Each structure stands twice: as C-alpha cells, then as structure tokens.
C-alpha cells in the first residue's frame, strides 16, 4: 500500500500557472550559455519527504535560501505533461510556495538515477532562465 502523502501537500496547481525555481548553487545554471542545467531539478536527500521546492513568485522561490544564484521559470503544464507522473502541489503551510512531487531520488537505485537525470535534463530544457545573478526581492 502506498504511503500517505505528507500533511503539508495540498492540491495540484493548474497547468496555466507559472512557477519559479531558485538556483541554490551556481551549478544549477550555465551563465555563458544562459541555460538551466539538470542540477536545478535533482531531488536532494532532505527534499524526499515533500518534493522539490518552488515558488509562485521569484520572492517565494528564494525565501528559504540563505543565498541564491538567480532563478528560472517554468509552466506547471510543461511538468504535468511529461510522462513521469510528476505533480506540482501547493504547500498548505505557505500559499505562495509549492513542491514538485514524485521526482526520483538519484542515489536510491540505478533505475532512479537514470530517470532522475533524464527528467532533470527535460525540465531544464523546458525552463526559461530569468537571471544568473542573485535575486534580492525589493524591500527584502
């Protein structure tokens, strides 16, 4: 039987919504080529319970980071349309925050590794890079 979803996950966002993914590290984007890299969409050990953190605004995307190296944006529909069962679900504790759920954890198995890198590359290709410079929200 599948485990119940974590309590802080709400409904799926609509396909027409744009979400924002902050670059926690420089490796998440390529400044010279101005492209997003798969690292931006790799699940970390600490993300397993909920999913990959995204914001419904640039401000929300960087809120939980001490520093950032810019951010990108992507349409929720582009994620839902991929054939991997991914879902973008609202964070019940923060209506300006969401999670990309059902991403495989790279280190859990070889099959998960292959799928994680494949999905990471596809999401990176579908993302629009907004800035490679640290984003500091106005009046922050």
Partner 1 sequence: MSSTPYPIGTIRQYTASVPREPAELFPDSIKAALDRIEALSNNARDGEARPSADNIEWAKRVLLRVLPRHYLLGAEIDAFQREIHVNWEHGTKRVTVFLPEANQLKIYYECITEQGIDHHLRPRANDPWEVSGVLRWLFE
Residue 118 touches partner 1, criterion: CB under 8 A: yes
Does residue 39 belong to the site contacting partner 1 (CB under 8 A)? yes
- Which residue stretch of 14-22, 39-47, 52-60, 129-137 sits at the interface with partner 1 (rule: CB under 8 A)? 39-47
Contact status: 117 vs partner 1 (CB under 8 A): yes
Window of 52-60, 91-99, 118-126, 130-138 that interacts with partner 1 by CB under 8 A? 118-126
Q: Is 122 in the site for partner 1 (CB under 8 A)?
A: yes
Q: Does 19 bind partner 1 (CB under 8 A)?
A: no
Judged by CB, which is closer to partner 1: 59, or 113?
A: 113
Tell me how far apart the alpha carbons of residues 78 and 126 are, in angstroms, rounded to a whole number: 7
104 and 95 in contact (C-beta within 8 Å)? no
CA pair distance 72, 87, nearest whole angstrom = 18
């Amino acid at each position: 039987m599948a485990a119940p979803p974590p309590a802080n996950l709400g409904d799926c966002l609509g396909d027409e919504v744009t979400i924002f993914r902050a670059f926690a590290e420089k490796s998440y984007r390529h400044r010279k080529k101005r492209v997003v890299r798969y690292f931006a969409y790799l699940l970390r050990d600490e993300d397993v319970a909920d999913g990959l953190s995204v914001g419904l605004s640039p401000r929300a995307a960087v809120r939980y980071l001490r520093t950032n190296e810019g951010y990108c944006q992507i349409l929720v529909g582009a994620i839902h349309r991929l054939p991997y069962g991914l879902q973008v679900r609202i964070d019940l504790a923060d209506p300006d925050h969401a999670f990309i759920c059902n991403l495989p954890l790279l280190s859990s198995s070889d099959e998960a590794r292959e799928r994680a890198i494949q999905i990471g590359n596809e999401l990176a290709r579908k993302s629009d890079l907004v800035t490679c410079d640290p984003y500091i929200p106005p009046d922050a």
